[in-house]
Amino acid sequence: MLRVVVVGGGAAGFFGAIHGAGDDTTVTVLEAGREVLSKVRISGGGRCNVTHSCFEIDQLVQHYPRGSKELRGAFTRSTPAHDRVV
C-alpha cells in the first residue's frame, strides 16, 4: 500500500489526489485553511466554469483566446471528459 500526502486542498491538490488515488494508493489531503476548495467555490461567480462541455480539443481551445496555445497541451492530456469524475 502506497500512502500519498497532498499539501493544499485547492483545485490542484484535489486534481492530484483524485488522479493519484487507486486500489493500492491512499491519498490524504492536508489543508491549512478552514475549508477545502474555497477558491473553486467562488470561481466563475460560484459556477466554477473552468472548462466548457466541449470534447474536441481544436474547438475547445478557441474558447480561450488569450491562452489557447498554452492550454492545448494540458487539454490534450486531460480533457473535460476526465473532469466528470469530480
Ligand X SMILES: Cc1cc2nc3c(=O)[nH]c(=O)nc-3n(C[C@H](O)[C@H](O)[C@H](O)COP(=O)(O)OP(=O)(O)OC[C@H]3O[C@@H](n4cnc5c(N)ncnc54)[C@H](O)[C@@H]3O)c2cc1C
Catalog residues that contact ligand X under the rule CB under 6 A. Answer: 7-13, 30-33, 38-40, 42-44, 49-50
The minimum distance between CB 63 and ligand X, in angstroms, equals: 11
Could you give the CA distance from residue 47 to residue 31 in angstroms, rounded to a whole number? Answer: 22
The minimum distance between CB 15 and ligand X, in angstroms, equals: 8
> CB within 8 A of 62, min separation 6: which ones?
68
Query: Is-contact 68 58, C-beta < 8 A?
Result: no
Of 7 and 74, the one with the shorter C-beta distance to ligand X is 7
Return the bridge partners of 29, or none: 6
The minimum distance between CB 54 and ligand X, in angstroms, equals: 15
